[in-house]
Structure 1
Amino acid sequence: MNLNINGLDELDLQILEILIKDSRTPYLEIARKCHVSGGTIHVRMKKMEEMGIIKGTKLILNTARLGFDVCCFIGVYLDKASSYNHVLDQLNQINEIVELHYTTGDYSVFAKVICRNISDLQSLLMNKIQPIDGIQRTDTFISLSQPIDRNIQL
């Protein structure tokens, strides 16, 4: 079967599938599994980086083991759509916000937040997020568990 998704062929998809399972897989091991040379893997990886398909690598921390016991999601209502850029600039300065999405539906912005405890969450909401000009109000959802955590499957 000859798949071609956004300029990717079967070998590119094989490489991505291997890396999705374990991003630390050495190029030579990927090459062995794909029956090509290590140089081919290197060229394909560089191509996918240049295409913006691979955006980089990152370290994934177990935040609870580091003492950050509260994961929550905050829905932000903006007072008007034109406030978005100002609010985004302000929210970008808050380290506890680890993801931010501009959304449709009830909320203009949806943020994933990691805090040490409920007291820190309360302080974050009262002293950092809710006072931002352009934010009308917020709704907070505390995550009790995360039973699924995966990348996209190709």
Structure 2
Amino acid sequence: MNYQIDNLDKEILKALMQDVQQPYTEIAKTLGVSGGTIHVRMRKLTEMGVVTGAELKIDPMALGYDICAFIGVFLEKGSEYREAVEQMRLVPEIVELHYTTGSYSMFVKMICRDTKHLREVLNEKIQVLPGVQRTETFISLEESISRQITIE
């Protein structure tokens, strides 16, 4: 695909990052273009993989999930990474998983109801996986910043 992202694309993305539910017609009025232009640009940005979807953001605490934990996972061998990822996809409490450099093979973000739930997930779903040597757990006390990248 030979499409270049221009300033209009960036302005559209900025507007939607502020409020993903904002109608394209409102964005078009603000930017001085037609609603059709916004639709065409968004389709191109999606086809390019710049836009990968729109998410509904839920506050886990409002649903009774009080613990956010980060788990450093040590694998016995790096070659076991792909299989470990496939197994961890089956653990619904895992909301992010990263392949990392440094001390850990993998870094996991989990959301659990409470410390008992966290212990159960660790002991019965993660530490028992083939290839997992050991884990190290960090409990988040507060999320101070959560944001997208800044588009300039």
Given the two structures, how large is their TM-score scaled by the length of structure 1?
A: 0.95
Distance (whole Å) between structure 1 residues aligned to residue 93 and residue 22 of structure 2: 31
Q: CA deviation at 1:126?
A: 0.6
Distance (whole Å) between structure 1 residues aligned to residue 50 and residue 84 of structure 2: 29
Runs of 4+ in 1 over 6 A off after TM superposition: none
Aligned to 1:121: 118
Identity of aligned residues (%): 50
Amino acid at match of 1:99: E
Amino acid at match of 2:44: K
| Counterpart mapping for 1:45-64 below 5 A | 45-64=42-61
Amino acid at match of 1:32: K
For residues 20-63 of structure 1, give each alpha carbon's deviation from its aligned partner in whole angstroms, at most 9, with x where no partner exists: 11111110000011100000000000000000000011111010
Aligned to 2:11: 14
RMSD: 0.9
Amino acid at match of 2:55: K
Aligned to 1:105: 102
Aligned to 1:44: 41
Amino acid at match of 1:92: R
SS across alignment from 1:151: coil
**Residue 139 of structure 1 is aligned with which of 132, 136, 141?**
136
Distance (whole Å) between structure 2 residues aligned to residue 109 and residue 7 of structure 1: 35
Matched, 1:66 2:63: yes
Q: What residue ranges of structure 2 are gaps of 5+ in the alignment?
A: none
SS across alignment from 1:146: coil
For residues 78-119 of structure 1, give each alpha carbon's deviation from its aligned partner in whole angstroms, at most 9, with x where no partner exists: 100111111111111000000111111111111100000000
SS across alignment from 1:98: strand
Q: What residue ranges of structure 1 are gaps of 5+ in the alignment?
A: 1-5
Distance (whole Å) between structure 1 residues aligned to residue 20 and residue 147 of structure 2: 13
